[in-house]
Chain A
Amino acid sequence: MIGNSLNKLDPKEFDAHKAHHLLKRAGFGGNARQIEAIANLGLEDAVDFIVDYQGISETETIQEDRFDKDIMRPPTSSERQSFRKIRESGDEAALEVLRTERQRRQREDRKQVAELEEWWLKRLIETPRPLEEKLTLFWHGHFATGYRTIENSYHMFQQNNLFRTHALGNFKEDLVRGIIHDPAMIKYLNNDKNRKGAPNENLARELMELFTLGEGQDYSEDDIKEGARTLTGYNVEDDAFVFRSRQHDSGTKSIFKKRGQFDGDDFVDLIFTRRSVSTFVVWKLYRYFVNDLPHEPTREVKSFVQAIGNLFKRNDWELKPVMKAIFLSKHFYDDANVNSIIKSPIQLIVQSMRSMNPPQRKKMLRTLAIASDLMGQRLFGPPSVKGWDGGRTWINTSTMFMRHNTLLYLITGQRPDGRAWEADSSQFNAMQVLEKEKSDPKRVVKELLINHLGVDTPDSSRVSTLLDYLKTQHNVIDNHSVMGLLTLISAMPEYQLC
């Protein structure tokens, strides 16, 4: 049974519809030409092309100094000394200067995190390596850290690069070990306050509960307490990790019934001996890439996840073989899994941008970042360390309107946030979405439904709704009527699925 769970899809079955499914899930979809190109590669080559993305050159090689690292730099020791003197003197005027300066830096930094948000959104939209950005977003939600708490945009940028660099690397060595050395995470989960004799359990707890094992799985409250001791002294200096041996508790700890003078890195090794570690993150990958599972998973799903978990462990926590196995599997392409995931706000925006190619509008990235936030997903601002709940929690009556109105913005330039005075009337060259048919209403409607809803065969009632619309346009296919069609398609409940 388990052996069969990873059966590959018969390559002969890999058609345009399945290629589209792959492109949406492993990235953010694409236009008809891109879908066809992926289909023409055939299953194996298509999966290799998407997963082995290192060979594709990036839109922008990321430089460490892409953003200003000094806005929130900690004070030097001589600065600290002079601050202390000012505070002790109670000199109100001098204190006021300090306060004003601090507020100025905070303002500056908030501006930079907004730039960072736009910069990432642009990468998501433009990257030739969609899986890389899609996984970067996955890790951001998995090892969730929020700017609002740490108030240091440069640390968020560094963390974002950690996720991107190791998006498809080794889960244990690169990501989990990386995150306990990551300045943003150390601050977010207060490990900078975790010291010998005064432990702070936050990082130790989440490391097991949210990052590797799952809540209440395979560990006890004592393991958390002892784990916290291993992480004492894991701290941040300026923009880098620092191990402060004087804050570190080097005594003997007992974790998972093993005793030793463990440090945080040993703690990671110990966690990866637990049974739950092989499937916990795989379940999350499954929800993100295969099916967001609004209901109790079936036996088939459970055995698929178990089989992937076994593969993950056999490959010493390398992610690449896992992603390939998923994208090659028959299970991934099952009808039950196609169009089964509710698009995250970012998926909705980026996929729509990529498949429709609307015109550049003024302040477009800012507008889209705001729209995404209003739909419940702010980059660099997950609601808590648990990340985004995803699935059906994305959708309620207010976010539904925001979704429709965001699409309306892409198509017409009308703002989704009521700031009508900032509307942008650049004309959308909508005819370019029609790759094959440009005049026959029935064929145009069918092509658009297939490409924008990702369906194999369009629902007949949807076809007739769109044909009804074209009748009001005297069956003329032009920019105006295609914009109308796209407006209607993007307002269909099906459009929220991918």
Chain B
Amino acid sequence: MQQGMAFLSMATTVPLFMQRSAEGIMIPLGSLVTSRSGVPDDHVLVVIQLAGGNDGLNTVIPYGSREYYVNRSQIAIGEPGSTKYNSGAALSISGADGYGLHPNLTGLLDLMENGQAAIVQGVGYPNPNRSHFTSTDIWHTGNHSGQGYGWLGRYFDNTCDGQPNPKGSIAIGNRAPLALHGSTQKAVNFETEELFRWAGASGDASLEELYDNINRQEKVNSSKEDSQLDFLVRTSLDAQVSSDRIRAAVSKQPLVRYPGGQLSQQLQLIASMIRADLPTRVYYASLGGFDTHANQLNSHANLMRQLGDTLNAFQQDLGKQGNTGKVLTMVFSEFGRRVAQNGSGGTDHGTAAPMFLIGDNVKAGLLGKHPSLTKLDQGDLMYNTDFRQVYASVLEDWMGADSKEILGKKYSKSAVLKG
């Protein structure tokens, strides 16, 4: 017992010094290097991937088009007010004649009417690839080979010279997405905050205390400046401190009620980290289940409900926090689906689809042109906006970066953010 006390006293030096390290490691003194003046460097980007390929035509409904109903006899959604279809009637968007939202996207419509949400229609890229993996890689890297580092990873690579940017990114999930991988920048990721910690703590109290001593050191005797050991010691400390901060952040009740579902859990985590003022600049979440090859009406409707309501709750939460001005949320899917339904009441892999942007700074409403349903490329929609045009405006006008450096080419910015 006495012996136990002896090393308890060792541990008492930890908290003070931890605080210091937390400052030192997570909030560097020099501010982020941005190449564009006038863009504040506390902007946060939240990226949400709708994994599997979201059916764009049943998200933004072209109810004014005859072809829509011809091609989708079992899964079409009726025009606003219509009672003809089991699938319900589209929500009408003010000022957008012939186009409405999926009936379950009330949460998103609400945001649009409040001036906080934009939908960019018909976003895609040339020579579309219909493999989930390849197309995901194309969106993540921003180049057509789908090879190389992620666009946001490169963004961070560009902002810090040869060192990982401590204000980097956090992905919610068991794997960090390619988008966040740079040559030096790697994302932190975890599925739940409980997995972002040492799991041995549940057992033996004396072990836990010694584990802490080992992993909360600033230096060990034998480690030289920036040696491998020094690097590992620093990262271990950083891991402990980040874990403390994140777990403290998410232990607070959110300021609004969220609906259920996997996306909701992720966005609650993200909202709580933003509220706790973590210096992280990019968060990444994803919602799966969009690969609707068969009997898609119900499953897609559930996803739309979850998506719209969750985005709405998240935005309200940020509003109560007073953070809507510094957070931009971007929603995309690796591709849309084919115009015609298949034989099983579902849709197969297609091409262009809508993207959503949410925040105080977006040009709210329906943006860009809806892809034509008559001028098709082998039964597929042709894109009107290249996704890299959207990236370019996010990079330049939100993240304050030179988009050409990051995307390898100058894309004309898509007009999605207020100037």
Residue ranges of A at the interface with B (Cβ–Cβ < 8 Å): 92-93, 95-96, 99, 148-149, 292, 294-295, 339-342, 373-374, 383-385, 389, 392-393, 395-398, 400-401, 404-405, 408, 412, 414, 416-418, 459-462, 465, 468-469, 471-473, 484, 487-488, 491-494, 496-497
Contact = CB atoms under 8 A, between A and B. Distances in A.
A471 B231 contact: no
B365 to A, nearest CB: 38
Given A405-B199, A468-B210, A96 B344 contact: yes
A9 B224 CA distance: 26
Contacts of A401: 190, 195-198, 239, 243
Interface residues of B, number: 58
A310 to B, nearest CB: 29
B269 to A, nearest CB: 14
Interface stretch (B56-64, B86-94, B213-221): B213-221
A408 B199 contact: yes
Report which residue of A295, A373, A459, A472 has the largest number of chain B beta carbons within 10 angstroms of its beta carbon. Answer: A472
B235 interface: yes
11 contacts: A295-B226, A342-B232, A400-B239, A401-B198, A465-B214, A468-B7, A469-B206, A488-B207, A491-B198, A491-B200, A493-B232
A389 B185 CA distance: 12
Given A401-B239, A493-B236, A487 B200 contact: yes
Interface stretch (B116-124, B174-182, B351-359): B174-182
B204 A488 contact: no
B233 interface: yes
A290 to B, nearest CB: 13
A340 B197 contact: no
Contacts of B184: 393
B235 A383 contact: no
Given A95-B343, A149-B134, A465-B214, A340 B228 contact: yes
Contacts of A96: 342-344
A374 B191 CA distance: 11
Given A404-B198, A487-B207, A395 B231 contact: yes
Contacts of B281: none
Contact of B175 (A149, A341, A374, A412): A374
B242 A397 contact: yes
Contacts of A294: 226, 228, 231
A30 B417 CA distance: 59
A113 to B, nearest CB: 13
Interface of B: 3-4, 6-7, 133-134, 147-148, 164, 174-176, 178, 181, 183-184, 186-192, 194-200, 203-204, 206-207, 210-211, 213-215, 220-222, 226, 228-229, 231-233, 235-236, 238-239, 242-243, 293, 342-344
Given A398-B196, A494-B229, A488 B175 contact: no
A398 B243 CA distance: 9
A459 B199 CA distance: 26
Contacts of A417: 174, 195
Nearest to A91: B343
B10 to A, nearest CB: 8
Contacts of B134: 149
Contacts of B231: 294, 392, 395
A99 B7 CA distance: 65
The 4 residue pairs across chains A and B that have the minimum distance between CB atoms: A92-B343, A493-B232, A397-B239, A471-B3
Nearest to B211: A491
B204 A484 contact: yes
Given A294-B228, A469-B210, A487-B207, A397 B221 contact: no
A64 B222 CA distance: 50
